[in-house]
């Protein structure tokens, strides 16, 4: 029965991991006949095939052809399309050129702030075909606007379309618009569509000089069907030097906006492999969903003032688009967790359910496993670079077999964890082994509460584990029942963190596989009832190896 409960628990874990990834993107089904007012993936792909036939970097003949194609398509929709020709300079990037922005406008029924739809049409010099970066954004806007106009409804707000030029040279088209175009003063919000790969889920990242709560509330009010976002990414993004066209609007014009960008298949980024064929169709469909839902909502909502006085923690959560709560809750939630932890320790020791000596010994395998997973992952990747020095020539830091490495490192870390716990915790009960992970997680959340509140959702695993600890202390359940029950209680933890294990090495390069290793070790400790196997011949050992 123990083996059956163990197998069922692992199946639950695998099922939740699949669920967490499945909900990150829409599934591409065979397209049925659509109404004219609906977004057609076929129409978007038709445009993309035309745009991404050849390299079209600034100064090339193909660049002019692509420009003319986009202008013609906008004119077919009835726009009075204009080309803004303006010299722009980016002092940070030591770049300058005369940009040629493609601009059009839908007149609204009221005189409020306008909504700007933004992407760029130049490809990266000199070999990229620019299908994803940012042909995907251009065709999403073209087809999304066509479907919007087909409704024959006048929006309340003006809608400005800016297909910018020279983004790849240093955001120069956006700079030209912000510096010199009179429509800049009319804009209340920007929706920017970008790519840093050719597939994977599309993430929402905000650009604001203030707090995020009103922007986030408005984003959720637009009801996107497949939102992918978390406040940790937002907080880290704000600290990094990464820029998009939208950054220019925030920094130089104090205009808020949303970036919608995908980073999967990073090895295609800025290479000859950024082609029509390699663009993930489901990713394009997700970009379309962001555009259509946001356009329909923001075209008719008040864009006068989207600044706010507070920040929100947010993260993808089971059965919910995004779980959100104020930054002001982070410290109180931490204090409550600490109090509950101390109370449970008191009752656990008093009732004889927790051994002081064995719970202290539980720090040994947990701390060793954290160090081993991080250090071995980091050291092994450095060794792989010595074995395969050509990997260092890949500027993105993500190899063409990168996903295989991620899977291999996940299983390697699982094997390390199982072996470490079997060696150092032969006699300890699972409840004793839970004390150390909870302490470390509370310590981690204490640091987060003061220095990185965007990661405030890291308190969720603590509450899940505290519930497990409470049940272990106050209820006498059979071992097989506990394993399955406690695995079920850990579903939110798996759902939140499984995508992060993949996201860090994909987004930041495989040199950051050690971050994934540390996350796996952190979660393993809290799910000790699911994973701990005293039997040296447990099937998880073989799977990990």
> What pLDDT is recorded for position 197?
93
Q: Where do we find the tokens 């007149």? A: 107
Q: Tell me what pLDDT residue 36 has.
A: 82
The token pair at 46 is 């038709």
Q: How far apart are CA 58 and CA 61, in angstroms?
A: 9
Instruction: Give dist(CA 304, CA 158) in Å, integer.
Output: 12
Per-residue confidence (pLDDT) for residue 333, from 0 to 100 = 98
CB atoms near residue 17 (< 10 Å): 17
What's the pLDDT score for residue 395? 79
Cβ atoms of residues 302 and 406 within 8 Å: no
- Residue 263 CA to residue 267 CA, distance in Å, equals 10
Per-residue pLDDT, 237: 76
Q: Are 172 and 100 a contacting pair, CB within 8 Å?
A: no
Beta pairing, strands 114-120 & 82-90: unpaired
What was the pLDDT predicted at 34? Answer: 67
Residue 157 CA to residue 107 CA, distance in Å, equals 7
The size of the chain, in residues, is 545
What are the b/e assignments for 292-327, b being 16+ CB within 10 Å?
bbbbbbbbbbebeebebeebbbbbbbeeebbbbeeb
Q: Which residue has the tokens 């040296």?
A: 536
**DSSP label at 109?**
S
pLDDT at res. 481: 81
Burial of 432 from C-beta contacts in 10 A (0-12 / 13-18 / 19+) = buried
- Encode 85-106 in three state secondary structure: EEEEEECCCCEEEEEEEEEEEE
Tell me, what's the pLDDT at 32?
Answer: 61
**3-class secondary structure, 57:** coil
pTM here is 0.92
The encoded tokens of residue 482 equal 């506990």
Taking CA atoms, 35 is separated from 32, 250, 282, 378, in Å, by 10, 37, 20, 52
Sequence ranges of the domains in the chain: 62-306, 330-544
Angle at 496 between CA 495 and CA 502, to 5 degrees: 95
Q: What gap in Å lies between CA 237 and CA 445, rounded to an integer?
A: 20
pLDDT tens for each residue of the chain, 545 residues long: 667 888 899 999 999 999 999 999 887 765 566 678 899 999 999 999 999 999 999 999 999 999 999 999 999 999 999 999 999 998 888 999 999 999 999 999 999 999 999 999 999 997 899 999 999 999 999 999 999 999 999 999 999 999 999 999 999 999 999 999 999 999 999 999 999 999 999 999 998 888 899 999 999 999 999 999 999 988 777 766 668 999 999 999 999 999 999 999 989 999 999 999 999 999 999 999 999 999 999 999 999 989 999 999 999 999 988 999 999 999 999 999 999 999 999 999 999 999 999 999 999 999 999 999 999 999 999 999 999 999 998 878 899 999 999 999 999 999 999 999 988 877 678 899 999 999 999 999 999 999 999 999 999 999 999 999 999 999 988 777 888 999 999 999 999 999 999 999 998 899 999 999 999 999 999 999 988 766 655 566 666 67
Task: Give me the pLDDT at residue 447, please.
Answer: 97
The sign of the torsion formed by the CA atoms of 126, 127, 132, 137 equals: positive
How far apart CA 271 and CA 265 sit, in angstroms, is: 12
Q: What is the CATH number of domain 62-306?
A: 3.40.630.10
CA distances from 149 to 41, 114, 131, 161, 450 (A): 17, 16, 25, 13, 48
- Confidence (pLDDT) at 365: 94
């Amino acid at each position: 029965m123990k083996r059956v409960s163990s197998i069922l628990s692992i199946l639950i874990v695998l099922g939740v991991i699949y669920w967490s990834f499945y909900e990150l993107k829409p599934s591409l089904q065979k397209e049925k006949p659509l109404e004219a007012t609906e977004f057609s993936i076929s129409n978007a792909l038709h445009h993309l095939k035309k745009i991404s036939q050849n390299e079209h970097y600034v100064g090339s003949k193909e660049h002019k052809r692509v420009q003319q194609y986009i202008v013609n398509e906008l004119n077919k929709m009835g726009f009075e399309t204009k080309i803004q020709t303006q010299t722009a300079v980016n002092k940070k990037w030591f770049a300058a050129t005369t940009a040629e922005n493609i601009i059009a406008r839908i007149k609204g029924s009221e005189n409020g702030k306008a909504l700007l739809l933004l992407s760029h049409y130049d490809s990266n010099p000199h070999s990229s075909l620019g299908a994803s970066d940012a042909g995907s954004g251009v065709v999403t806007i073209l087809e999304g606007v066509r479907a919007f106009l087909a409704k024959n409804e006048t929006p309340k707000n003006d809608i400005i379309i800016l297909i910018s030029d020279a983004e790849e040279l240093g955001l120069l088209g956006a700079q030209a618009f912000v510096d010199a175009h009179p429509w800049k003063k009319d804009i209340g919000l920007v929706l920017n569509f970008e790519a840093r790969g050719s597939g994977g889920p599309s993430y929402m990242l905000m650009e604001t000089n203030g707090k995020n709560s009103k922007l986030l509330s408005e984003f959720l009010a637009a009801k996107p069907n497949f939102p992918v976002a978390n406040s940790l990414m937002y907080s880290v993004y704000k600290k990094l030097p990464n820029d998009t066209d939208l950054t220019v609007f925030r920094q130089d014009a104090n205009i808020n906006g949303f970036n919608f960008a995908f980073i999967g298949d990073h090895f295609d980024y800025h290479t000859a492999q950024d082609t029509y064929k390699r663009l993930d169709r489901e990713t394009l469909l997700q970009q379309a969903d962001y555009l259509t839902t946001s356009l329909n909502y923001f075209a008719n909502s008040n864009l006068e003032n989207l600044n706010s006085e507070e920040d929100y923690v947010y993260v993808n959560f089971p059965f919910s688009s995004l779980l959100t709560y104020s930054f002001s809750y982070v410290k109180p939630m931490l204090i409550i967790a600490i109090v509950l932890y101390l109370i449970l320790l008191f009752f656990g020791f008093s009732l004889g359910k927790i051994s002081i000596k064995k719970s202290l010994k539980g720090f040994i395998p947990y701390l060793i496993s954290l160090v081993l997973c991080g250090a071995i992952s980091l050291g092994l990747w450095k060794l792989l670079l010595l074995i395969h020095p050509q990997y260092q020539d890949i500027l993105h830091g993500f190899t063409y077999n990168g996903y295989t490495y991620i899977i291999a490192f996940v299983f390697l870390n699982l094997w390390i964890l199982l072996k470490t716990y079997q060696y150092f915790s032969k006699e300890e009960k699972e409840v004793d082994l839970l004390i150390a992970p909870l302490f470390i997680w509370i310590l981690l959340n204490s640091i987060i509460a003061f220095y990185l509140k965007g990661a405030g959702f890291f308190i969720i695993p603590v509450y899940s584990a505290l519930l497990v600890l409470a049940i272990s202390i106050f209820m006498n359940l059979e071992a097989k029942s506990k394993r399955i029950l406690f695995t079920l209680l850990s579903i939110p933890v798996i759902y939140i963190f499984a995508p992060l294990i993949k996201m860090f090495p994909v987004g930041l390069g495989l040199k950051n596989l050690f971050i994934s290793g540390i996350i796996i070790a952190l979660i393993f400790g809290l799910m000790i009832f699911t994973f701990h196997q005293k039997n040296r011949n447990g099937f998880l050992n073989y799977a990990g190896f």
